[in-house]
Chain A
Amino acid sequence: MATKVTRREFIRDGVAAFTLSFAAPAFLVDIARAQGAVSRNLVVIYLAGGNDALSTLIPYTDPFYYSRRPAIAVPAAQVLQIGTDAAGKALGLHPRLTGLQNIFNQGRLAIIQRAGYQNSSRSHFQGTDIWGSADPSNAAGTGWLGRYLDSLPSPIDPLAAWNTSGATYRALTGSTIAVPSITDPRNYSFASPNSGAEAINERNAAIRLASSAGPDRPNLAFVNTSAMEAFATLDRVGSVVNYTPSVTYPNNGFGQALRTVAGSISKGIGTRVYWVQTGGFDTHSGQGNAGGGGYATLMSTVGDGLLAFYNDLQNQGLLGSTLMIQFSEFGRRISENGSQGTDHGAGGMMMVLGGGVRGGIYGTAADLNPRPDNPTLENAGGDVTYETDFRAVYAKVLDGWMGTSSTAILGGNFGANAPAFL
C-alpha cells in the first residue's frame, strides 16, 4: 500500500507542475536515475503463437527433418550455415534470417536450443502464462518481470517498464506495479473539448478525480491508477515522438515497436524493461518452404527488425547497455500436418542478443528419429523434449544483467546450470 500513498503524493505535485508548464515533474527523472544510474535495458521479445523452432534453427543434416517434413522443410542448400552445436550437429538459420546471421557472426547472438520445461503445455494460453509466471505449478501467479519490478526501491517510476503491445501479459504482472501499455507514442496525448485555460482546468480536474479513490474501492483505484500513470508519463513518452533513428526500420508493427524502444533508450527517459511482441507464429497451415510462404514472412519480420534495432543502437553507442531476450510459448510438432503446417508441440528455443552477449549455439539439438529410446523426443517421438529449463535463462539475465538476485524472483536457484551467454 506504500506505493498508493506515493502515487497520490505524486499526483498532488503533478497538478502543480502541469498547471505551470505541462512538463514532467523533475523528481521523476531523479527516481529514474536513482534506480539505474548507468541504465541497462532489457528488451523482451515474444513470438506469439508458438514458434516452430525447427524452422528457425534448422538441423539440415538430420534425415528425419526432411522425411517428417516433406512439404515444408528448407532445402539444405538454402540454409544459412552457422556451425555446429556442442555435440557436433550442423545447424543453420532460416534463409530469411540474414539479419540474425549478421549478428551471430559478430558474436552477439546466443541461441539456446531445446528451451522449455517438463510436461510442456500444448495450450497457447496456459503455455504463455507459464513462461510468464516462470512457475509451471502456478501459471496464474505474478510474472517474473513483474516481480523484478516489484523488487525495485520505492517509489517505482511508472515508466520503469513499457509494454509496446496493447495486450496484458502475465510476465509483466506484479503485485504493486502496473506496467503501462503504450502502443504508439503519437496517440499518447491528452484531448479536450476545450482549449487554453479551460482545457487546463479540465486536465487538472481529471487528475484530481483520478487521484481520489480510496483503498475502500480497489477496482476503481485500479482504473484510476491507469489514468494517473497516463498523466504521469505523457510528456516523457511524448518526447519519443521526435526520435530520428540512425537506420530505417521495417514498416511493420514489430519494426516500428523496436523503433519506439530505440527512441526511448536514446532519449534516456528512464525505462529499463521493454516488452515487444510479434504474432502469427501459430502456423497450423501455410508455413511454406524456403522460397516463401507464411513462415518466411515471419522470419523476415523478426530478422530484419532485430538487425535494424541492433544497428541503430550500435550506431549510437547504446548497444552495450541493451540486452534482448526472445521466447515463445512452445515449439511445434516435428512432423508436418496436411496443411503445410505444424501443430502444437513441446520444447522450443530462445535467443539472447546484445552488446554484452557471448554468442554461439548453446545446448544440443534433438535427434528427430522417432525411435522409442530417443531421449531427445517425447510424446511417442512426436515432439522435442526440453533440455535447458527456460528459468535458467531468466536467472542468467536477472543475475548477470539486471544485477538482482534471481533466487528471490524465481523462487529457486535456476542459475547454476545456466548457459554462459553473459
Chain B
Amino acid sequence: MRSGDPLLDHLFRRAGFGAAAADLQAVAGMSYSAAVDYFVDFEKLPDDVDSKINAPEYVGVTARGQFSPSTNIEDARQRWLFRMLHSTRPLQEKMALFWHNHFGVGYTKVAGAVGALVGTKMMANKAGETPGPQGHYELVRQMALGKFRDLLIGVAQDPAMLVFLDGRTNTRAKPQENFGREVMELFTWGLGHYVENDVYAAARVFTGWNLRNVPGRDGNDPAAYQEFIYNSGQHDTTAKAFTFPINGGSRTIPARGAAAGIQDGMDFMTSLANHPETARRLARKLWNFFVSDLEEAPAAFVEAVADVYLRSDTDMRAVLRYILKSPWFTNPGNFNARYSWPVEFVVRAMKEIGWAGFSVDTARVPLTNMGQTLFEPPNVAGWQLGRAWFGTGAMLARMNFAATVASNQKFNLARSFSAADRAQPGRVLNTMLQRLTAASFSATETTELLNYLNAGGPWTGSDTQMNAKAPGLARLVAGSGEYQFV
C-alpha cells in the first residue's frame, strides 16, 4: 500500500517486496536517509521471521506431513516466500534473491547427484536445523551484505556449488574446468578479460576443492550431509600462469606445497574480487536490479559504485547504502522503471491484496508458469531478466495469479471499503489504487477501470456488488501492465 511518499514507496518496492501496513508502521516518522539505514542495517533487528510461520496473523504454509524446509525443497520454497512477505529485514531477502540469481545454482542437478534429501540440505539447510553446513541460499542470505570477496570464497566452498559446477571431482590428474570458467565469466569480471589458457589454469587452481560425504543411517536420515574439504593429495602443486596479474603482482601463482595449496584459490578469488572490472560488472548488475532495467547504467554511476566497492574492501553494505541514497536511485524518473521478477510480483500482490487464509504454497505452480521457480534458475547465469519475463504464457500466469489472490480475498476486499467509498465507484477506484501500487494509469485506462465498475447494472454499492466488483477490480489492477513494474 502507498505511504503518501512516492520515494518511500519506491524504496519498499526495490529494497523490499512492497509494503503492507505493518511495514510502513516500522519506518513511520523517519527521514528518507534514516529509512535507508533501517533497510541496510537490518542486523540491528532480530532475524525472527521463521517464528511467525503458522502464527495466525500471517500467510499460511501447506505442509505435507511435517513442515520441513531444510530437507524438503517444496517447503524450502514456501519458507523463502514466507520470509519475503513477512520479514522485518526485507533487504536481506532481496539481496539473497540477487545472489541466488548471480550464483545460479539449481536444485535439480544437485539433487540428481546426491539425492533429494541431501540435495535440499545443500540448497536450503538452515544452520542448526539438521547436521552439516548451511545450504546455499542460507549462505547467501547470511552474507547478503557482507564483503563480496568473502561471499565468493564461501560460494566456492559451498557444497551445492561444488556439485553444481562439478568441483567435487576436480582432481590433479584431470582438472575440471566448469567452475574455473564460470567464476570468471559469470561470478566476477565477465567475458573479454581472459583467454582459454586462463580457464585451464583456473581449473588447476581449484584441484582438490572437493567434498567429504558424511552418510546417515539410511537414505532418509536427515543427519546425512556433505561438506567442503581441501583434499591436498589431489591439488596440483605446480605454478599456474595467467594473462593477468594475481593480486596486483605477478601473473603467476607460484608452485606451493600441497599442504598450503588452498592458498592458490584464495589468491585467485581475492584477485578477481578486488579487480576494478569485477567492481564495474557488479555495479551494472546492481543498477539493473535496484535502479532501472529500462536503461543501461550510466558510466558515472558505474564508476561511483565501483569506487565505493573498491575503497570499502568489497563491502556490499557500503555499496547498497550508497546506491539507495544516490541521486540515481531517488530520481523519480526511475520509479517503476524496472520489470518485476515473478517472485516480486507474487509477494507484492499478496502484501497488497491480502493473505488471510491464503497459503504461499498456492504461489508455487503459478511462479513456475511465470518462469521463476526458486532454487531452480534455468542455468548458472541465472534467470533472463527484464522483458524476457514477459512471454505470453508468463503474462497470462501473472494475470491468473492476480485472479487467484483476489478471489481468495474476495470478502476481505469487499469489507475493506468504507460506507463513503461504497457510495461512488470513483471512490472505490481511488481507494483501490492507494492499496495496489501500480504505476500510474492514463486517463483512458482510468476510464476503462471505472467502466468496469459500472458495467452490468447500476451502481448500488451493495454487499453483493462489492463482493463481485472489489475482487474483479483488484484482479484488473494487479493483472495490468502498470502493476508489472516495480
Contacts and interface: CB of A to CB of B under 8 A. Distances in A.
A318 interface: no
Interface string A105-131: 000000000000000001111100000
B191 A126 contact: yes
A212 to B, nearest CB: 5
Interface stretch (B36-44, B53-61, B77-85, B393-401): B393-401
Given A191-B403, A193-B475, A285-B166, A219 B339 contact: yes
B231 interface: no
Given A192-B475, A205-B455, A338 B393 contact: no
A163 interface: yes
B449 A229 contact: no
B175 A338 contact: yes
A180 to B, nearest CB: 3
Interface magnitude class on chain A:
35 or more
A122 B181 CA distance: 9
B439 A220 contact: yes
Given A182-B393, A230-B393, A187 B472 contact: no
B378 A167 contact: yes
Given A180-B391, A181-B393, A206-B399, A197 B476 contact: no
A166 B174 CA distance: 36
Nearest to B470: A193
Contacts of A193: 403, 406-407, 410, 471-472, 474-475
A379 B472 contact: no
Given A212-B448, A285-B166, A227 B481 contact: yes
A175 to B, nearest CB: 13
Given A194-B468, A198-B456, A209 B393 contact: no
A286 B169 CA distance: 10
A113 B429 CA distance: 63
Contact of A123 (B175, B185, B403, B445): B185
Nearest to A234: B396
Contacts of A158: 392
Contact of B476 (A167, A209, A341): A209
Interface stretch (B219-227, B309-317, B379-387): B379-387
B481 A220 contact: yes
A168 B387 CA distance: 9
B444 interface: yes
B270 interface: no
Given A209-B445, A223-B481, A226-B394, A201 B472 contact: yes
A223 B445 contact: no
Given A202-B475, A213-B481, A337-B175, A191 B170 contact: no
B169 A339 contact: yes
Interface in A167-219: 167-168, 178, 180-184, 187-194, 197-198, 201-202, 204-206, 208-210, 212-214, 219
Contacts of B196: 122, 379
Contacts of B472: 192-194, 198, 201-202
Contacts of B439: 220
Nearest to A232: B392
Interface string B427-446: 00000000000010010110
Nearest to B392: A180
A230 B392 contact: yes
Contact of B442 (A182, A212, A338): A212
Contacts of B474: 193
Given A220-B439, A227-B399, A167 B388 contact: yes
Given A168-B391, A213-B481, A230-B393, A201 B175 contact: no
B186 to A, nearest CB: 8
A266 interface: no
B389 to A, nearest CB: 9
A219 B173 CA distance: 52
B92 interface: no
Contact of B384 (A163, A167, A180, A188): A167
Given A209-B449, A285-B176, A338-B171, A230 B396 contact: yes
B234 to A, nearest CB: 9
A178 B294 CA distance: 18
B113 interface: yes
Nearest to A182: B393
Q: Is the interface of A mostly helix, strand, loop or mixed?
A: loop
Interface in A276-298: 279, 282, 284-286
Contacts of A340: 169
A209 B448 contact: yes
B481 A224 contact: yes
A226 B191 contact: no
B369 interface: yes
A338 B481 CA distance: 50
B485 interface: yes
Interface residues of B, number: 65
A223 B451 CA distance: 22
B177 interface: yes
B115 to A, nearest CB: 14
B384 A168 contact: yes
Contacts of B403: 191-193
A384 to B, nearest CB: 14
Contacts of A214: 442
Contacts of B410: 193
A201 B392 contact: no
B463 to A, nearest CB: 15
Interface string B448-472: 1101100110000000000010011
Given A122-B181, A193-B472, A343-B176, A210 B393 contact: no
Contacts of B397: 187
Contact of A222 (B170, B387, B400): B387
B475 A220 contact: no
Determine which residue in B173, B395, B481 has the highest number of CB atoms from chain A within 10 A of its CB, and name it: B481
A52 interface: no
Contact of A202 (B369, B445, B476): B476
A344 interface: yes
B468 A223 contact: no
Contacts of B412: none
Contacts of A271: none
A305 to B, nearest CB: 19
A263 B445 CA distance: 38
B482 interface: yes
B425 interface: no
B443 to A, nearest CB: 10
A336 interface: yes
Nearest to B454: A201
A51 interface: no
B243 to A, nearest CB: 15
Nearest to A379: B196
Interface in A145-163: 158, 163
Interface in B50-78: none
A223 B390 contact: yes
5 contacts: A182-B391, A190-B399, A191-B404, A201-B456, A285-B169
Q: Which 5 A-B pairs have the closest CB atoms?
A: A338-B174, A181-B391, A180-B392, A193-B407, A339-B169
Given A227-B479, A343-B176, 11 more contacts: A167-B388, A178-B392, A194-B468, A201-B455, A201-B456, A206-B476, A213-B442, A223-B390, A223-B484, A230-B395, A339-B176
